[in-house]
Amino acid sequence: MGKYYCLIAGLPDVSLEDSKQTYSVTEFRDEISEQLSKKDKKVIDLFFRKYDNANIVGFLQNPTYTFDKRGLYTAEQMVAVMTALKNDEISPDLKTMPAYLAEFIRTYIAREDKPQETQILWADRLASIYYAFATKNKNAFVSDWYELNLNINNILTAFTCRTHELDRANYIIGDNLVSKALRTSNARDFGLGDEIDYIPALQKIVEEKDLIEREKKVDVLKWNWLEDHTFFKTFDIESVFAYLVKLDLIDRWVTLDKVTGEKTFRQLVGRMKKGSDNTLAKFKKNNNK
């Protein structure tokens, strides 16, 4: 891994409170791509795989799906990969595709005659293997970042399941120690108080009634983690990666509004429990005061 003195020294400061973007994530990717070593470029590419994940799930269930251009694969490339896999062939794009993505597409092709499996279930399945792939990254900072996100998402899901009396074992993804504890422990902190130092912060966050404020607090927690874990890596790839993530967080908050908040709420609760209209009504009431 190289040092990126000129690149990082030339980056403008960013804050989660910024009201407009310095760069889009794709603009930043294009600007830095030729400056990165081949090994470090793979680290940055890993970030953009989340857009590939969404594109692939959307495309597999709807051939007219419009691809998010932040992904690394186009619709045409995906058609070529699927054709190659169906015919047990090798295509140039398949050769460069991460193993977890090829594995997921093979699984989908083998089970695509099961219409009862919804897009959400497929998205969860892909998220699970994506996190398993990302948390094994040889860069410890990157691996820890993805484990943090996996844990935060799972812990918030577990608290939500507890609130709505749902079987959390059905909604926790991944297979790390935190995932296992969340599926089985009935302790208030799921037995993770000594293992996860941000459990108290998440316990407070789930009590937040305003969903927009709740989302912001989660992102502040992530932002602070990035700051703390790059303090001694000022000119390393870790700081480049962290800057990219920060741009992504800012971009989300520039566009986030009450309508988006309601959509997030529907995704969070509606996906897990049918007939959540009463809960949604309470959410609307709290946010219209």
In a domain, 8, yes or no: no
Q: What's the pLDDT at 112?
A: 65
Q: Does 114 share its domain with 206?
A: no
pLDDT attached to residue 287: 47
Judgement on whether residues 72 and 202 belong to the same structural domain of the protein? no
Residue 12 within a domain: no
pLDDT of residue 1: 58
pLDDT digits (tens, 9 = 90+) for 130-184: 999 999 999 999 999 999 999 999 999 999 999 889 999 989 999 999 999 999 9
Domains of the chain: total: 2
**6 assigned to some structural domain:** no
Domain that holds residue 49: 19-134
**pLDDT for 210:** 84
Predicted confidence at residue 228, as pLDDT, reads 96
In sequence order, which residues have a C-beta less than 8 Å from that of residue 90 and are 6 or more positions away? 84
pLDDT value, residue 259: 53
* Residue 134: both structure tokens together: 């990302």
140-to-45, 146, 238 alpha-carbon distances in Å = 16, 10, 9
Based on the domain organization, do 107 and 147 belong to the same domain?
no
Task: Give me the residues of the chain with pLDDT under 50, please.
Answer: 268, 274-287
The reply to whether 122 and 186 lie within a common domain is no
Round to whole Å and give the CA distance between 189 and 187.
5
In a shared domain, residues 118 and 223 = no
pLDDT for residue 121: 82
Q: Which two tokens stand for residue 22?
A: 């310095």
Residues 121, 107 share a domain: yes
Residue at which a domain ends, from 86, 108, 134 = 134
Ramachandran category for residue 190: left, alpha or beta (phi over 0 → left; psi -120 to 50 → alpha): left
Instruction: Give Cα 269 distance to the centre of its chain.
Output: 18
The SS3 of residue 230 is coil
Within a domain: residue 241? Answer: yes
Give the pLDDT confidence score for residue 221 in this predicted structure: 96
